[in-house]
Structure 1
Amino acid sequence: MNDFLPGVPPSDRPRLLAEEQPGDNAPALSVSELSGALKRTVEDAFGFVRVRGEISGFKRHSSGHCYLSLKDERACIDGVVWKGQAAALRFRPEDGIEVIATGKLTTFPGRSKYQIVIDRMELAGQGALMALLDQRRRQLAAEGLFDEERKRPLPFMPRVIGVVTSPTGAVIRDILHRLADRCPSHVILWPVAVQGDAAAPQVARAVRGFGALAPDGPIPRPDLLIVGRGGGSIEDLWAFNEEEVVRAIAESPIPVISAVGHETDTTLADFAADRRAPTPTAAAEMAVPVRADLAHHVRELGARAERLARRYRERADERFEAVIDRFPSLDGLFAGQQQRLDDLADRLPRALGQRLAHARSDLAHAAGALRPALLDRKYERAAERLASVRLSDRPIRAKIDQNRAALDQLWRLAEQLHPDRPLQRGYVRVERRGGGVLTSTAAAREAALLTLHFADGAVDARVDGEEERPQPRPPARTKTVAEDAPRQQKLF
């Protein structure tokens, strides 16, 4: 084969087997050695880079690592964010967001490719931040978290107000001062950070913590929540745009007033809250009415009620006078009865005198018939009639004998019909254990527990065995067992 390459030195001509040649200073490297050399070269040359690009294909692995690609109009580069750095990101990476990634380049020998290991990732300018905010707003709005139907009315006079804000800022002082001016209320402060990486988790935890309080617990549950902070840039207010804060406010069982920033500042928490206040002071004004206005209104209502009562009384007096005018006078109403009473009073003495005279006349007439001699004669005649009467007991005795004979006949008939009479002739009466006469073998087998009545007493028994079909042999006999008697033969 070497003859076909004229002019080529023998050392450079292709050979079938690899052989070391004298003076050769390029020893053969393994693939791993070459990949390792490339890795060291790339990492040494690009140990710190900042890359601007649009996120594409973002995926968070179950291990916590994040994988993505950064691209522009003409190229793309793979990237990875290890678990520790991913937890420290200030925002949630999403496809389509333009970012600036800081890290180092390295190679992945297993697939012969290079990638950037991202240590820090930031949004590429305020435009990218607003794009992320708008994208998140549309996503949460599609879930219905901002619907007006979910908004609840605020309580008119909350007994307890919960405030979620910084304990050292001016917000809590403004709220307390405004509440004291309008209507002093019981305020419970849940101190949180309102800016920085820890702000969003603390605010979400505070809102959910207030909602989890028991109504009758040691710490009173607020009737209204105020979530607020002072004004600032969009980066300062970003904690109130985080998804966990928005969801906590939307899921709160207690009505929420959002008072974040100044009047021109708008966050996603404002959309999720039941009411948005332009400032924390305005939130305090929304929370409670003015006590002085309430007192004035109560006074007006009292005066109005008094006027209405006075007017009602005056009209009632007028109606009463009108009704009285239609009634006749008292003298005219009772004149007839008064005249009749006077007439009866005049006639009563005369009637009593006449009645007394008649009573005396009747008494004199009756006294003549009540002389002792007449009474004595009546007594003698009654004694004579009594002596002439002779009483005899023969009719009564005859009636008694007749009734006794009829009674004996009925008694003999009753003895013949008594159910125990056949028992004297050797018969047995079969009853259920609890009572009830049995007249068939089927009823006896169904009852199972029996009581057999003989002429001289009763015996308990039990039916054993199933009913057998008739066979050309003596009928089956039922075994009975007496509780307090010796065994005897079957009865059925």
Structure 2
Amino acid sequence: MPSHYDDDAADVPGGLVAKDRPGDNAAALSVSEISGRLKRTVEERFGFVRVRGELSGVKRAASGHLYLCLKDESARLDGVMWRGNAGNLGFRVEDGIEVIASGKLTTYPGRSNYQIVIDRMEVAGEGALLALLAKTKARLEAEGLFDPARKRPVPFLPSVIGVVTSPTGAVIRDILHRLADRFGTHVLVWPVLVQGQGAAEQVAAAVEGFSRLAADGRVPRPDLVIVARGGGSIEDLWAFNEEVVVRAIAGSSIPVISAVGHETDTTLADFAADLRAPTPTAAAEHAVPVRGELLNQVAELALRKRRAVARPVALGRERLEARVQRLPKGDAVLAPFVQRLDDLGERLRRGLGERIVVARQQLQNDRARLSAPLLAARLDQARHRLVAQRLAPALVTARIASQRDRLEGLGRLMTSLNPDNILERGYVRVTAGDGRTLVSKAAAAKEVSLSLHFRDGELAVAPLDGSAATRPARAAPKDKPSPPEQGKLL
């Protein structure tokens, strides 16, 4: 039987045990069920949205996914961009950039929050793009990539020029046409995209590729690289503001000319390049000189050289002619010497005549002294004087006696110094095979054969070794003298 307390407990709110009430059709849902209903509701209601906001907390995971927040003055929205879409972004994602993100809203049950799954993200207008450009420029400039001190001079006349641009646009035709007009040179074109997705990576790879070419390789290495593109909006030229392009140009081992856009267009590639040209055509003009002007300049220099060589000759000729005018005439210079020669010739002629007269008179005066009887008498006198001048024998004999005494003294000295003279007293002289006299045992031991010189002749012997030389000789019996040994010295 039911108690009245049961009916009263059912009417009391906030009971201990949850019970279904009459007429109540709201069944209790689990957390997963309510989260799933919320997720479906949000995704159906906000299947595609475009949200404008400032990036904050940008983080790229190791998987390649991009996590971020979009915020404004009073709210924030979490966002995620999967790896496939994040790799197609046309700008460097970093905090502080105002963007417009397109995607869908969804919920994340694990944290009970909602987020936007971004399919596409763009910079919010040119103002935000310029702000991003200024920020990137300041960062790269602080690294020294735009320092004027690191810029290199462009070669005067490059033999090979590398061009990084689109192969189908008007830019490459303008460059080739202007190069052909000014100074024909070898051109290598590296075709790249100059706009859109992947353009920055291709431009950077082309600049780095030219630098990696070997100087003596099959493909000639350029002496100069031109990075060129036609005009366009800031969005069209954005690939040349990318950090990868700026770093490739700054790190190039070949001088680079940047010719991106028109004269009023400026990109970060212009600041990193060694030279900035206002247009691609101007880049070709900066790359090579005009061949005709060079020929005219060479001809002018050759003319100046000829004039410089001829000028001293002309001046010397003028000075010589002026000095010749001041010199006296040849006849006037030689006239005194000719006159003096005539005088000396006349004096010589007169002197010779006088000398002949004097000699003739002397010959006539000496004729008597040259008679034959007088000459014969003089000859007899000279013969008598010659006979009287014969040498005395005592002078010759005295000198001969003096030389004889000296010779005898030298003979006695030679006899006293002769080593064979002492052989008469029982001594022996030892000689080597070549006749040298040996005076020491060591010298004798080195010889193969020896000769002993006695008073009455020579004896050939051979030296013994050291052991035999030091062996004591056997004593002879006192009552019978032993005959002397022959042929041994030591």
TM-score normalised by the chain length of structure 2: 0.68
Which SS does the other structure have where 1:231 is aligned? coil
Spell out, residue by residue over 1:294-336, the C-alpha distance to the aligned partner (whole angstroms, 9 max, x if none). 2222222222333333322111113334566787887858997
CA deviation after TM superposition for structure 1 residue 21, in Å: 5.2
- The match for 1:399 among 403, 406, 413 is 413
C-alpha spacing 1:131/1:9, structure 2 compared with 1 (3 Å) = same
Contact 2:54 2:98 in 1 (8 A): yes
1:262-281 map, 5 Å? 262-281=262-281
C-alpha spacing 1:239/1:333, structure 2 compared with 1 (3 Å) = farther
Which SS does the other structure have where 1:456 is aligned? helix
Aligned partners of 2:314, 2:170: CA distance in 1, in Å?
58
How many residues are matched?
Answer: 402
Query: Which residue number corresponds to residue 133 of structure 1?
Result: 133
Contact 1:11 1:21 in 2 (8 A): no
Aligned partners of 1:334, 1:155: CA distance in 2, in Å?
72
CA deviation after TM superposition for structure 1 residue 206, in Å: 0.7
C-alpha spacing 1:286/1:369, structure 2 compared with 1 (3 Å) = farther
CA deviation after TM superposition for structure 1 residue 121, in Å: 0.8
Matched, 1:154 2:154: yes
Which SS does the other structure have where 1:195 is aligned? coil
Matched, 1:14 2:15: yes
Aligned partners of 2:421, 2:327: CA distance in 1, in Å?
85
Structure 2 unaligned segments of length 5 or more: list them.
Answer: 1-6, 353-358, 360-377, 431-438, 444-464, 469-490
CA RMSD of aligned residues (A): 4.8
Aligned partners of 1:257, 1:272: CA distance in 2, in Å?
10
Aligned partners of 1:10, 1:144: CA distance in 2, in Å?
81
Contact 1:420 1:455 in 2 (8 A): no
CA deviation after TM superposition for structure 1 residue 456, in Å: 3.2
Aligned partners of 2:135, 2:14: CA distance in 1, in Å?
64
Spell out, residue by residue over 1:94-125, the C-alpha distance to the aligned partner (whole angstroms, 9 max, x if none). 21111111222233333332222212111112
Aligned partners of 1:369, 1:54: CA distance in 2, in Å?
152
CA deviation after TM superposition for structure 1 residue 69, in Å: 0.8
Query: Which residue number corresponds to residue 224 of structure 1?
Result: 224
C-alpha spacing 1:61/1:406, structure 2 compared with 1 (3 Å) = farther
1:327-346 map, 5 Å? none
C-alpha spacing 1:404/1:456, structure 2 compared with 1 (3 Å) = farther
CA deviation after TM superposition for structure 1 residue 39, in Å: 3.6
CA deviation after TM superposition for structure 1 residue 49, in Å: 2.3
Spell out, residue by residue over 1:337-386, the C-alpha distance to the aligned partner (whole angstroms, 9 max, x if none). 9969x98xx89x9xxxx9xxxxxxxxxx99x999xx99xx99x9999999
C-alpha spacing 1:175/1:334, structure 2 compared with 1 (3 Å) = farther
Contact 1:68 1:80 in 2 (8 A): yes
Identical aligned pairs, as a percentage?
Answer: 58
C-alpha spacing 1:399/1:326, structure 2 compared with 1 (3 Å) = farther
Which SS does the other structure have where 1:9 is aligned? helix
Which SS does the other structure have where 1:88 is aligned? coil
CA deviation after TM superposition for structure 1 residue 48, in Å: 2.5
C-alpha spacing 1:384/1:97, structure 2 compared with 1 (3 Å) = closer
Contact 1:193 1:202 in 2 (8 A): yes
Query: Which residue number corresponds to residue 143 of structure 2?
Result: 143
Letter in 1 for 2:414: I
Aligned partners of 1:204, 1:173: CA distance in 2, in Å?
22
Bigger radius of gyration among the two: 2
Q: Which range moved further: 292-301 or 33-42? A: 33-42
Aligned partners of 1:333, 1:83: CA distance in 2, in Å?
113
C-alpha spacing 1:384/1:312, structure 2 compared with 1 (3 Å) = closer
Which SS does the other structure have where 2:167 is aligned? coil
Contact 2:415 2:421 in 1 (8 A): no
C-alpha spacing 1:138/1:314, structure 2 compared with 1 (3 Å) = same
Matched, 1:456 2:449: no
Which SS does the other structure have where 1:69 is aligned? strand
C-alpha spacing 1:383/1:285, structure 2 compared with 1 (3 Å) = same
Aligned partners of 1:391, 1:296: CA distance in 2, in Å?
106
Spell out, residue by residue over 1:243-267, the C-alpha distance to the aligned partner (whole angstroms, 9 max, x if none). 1111111111211111111222221
Which SS does the other structure have where 2:128 is aligned? helix
Aligned partners of 1:76, 1:97: CA distance in 2, in Å?
14
Query: Which residue number corresponds to residue 101 of structure 1?
Result: 101
Letter in 1 for 2:315: R
Query: Which residue number corresponds to residue 121 of structure 2?
Result: 121
Query: Which residue number corresponds to residue 84 of structure 1?
Result: 84
C-alpha spacing 1:326/1:7, structure 2 compared with 1 (3 Å) = farther
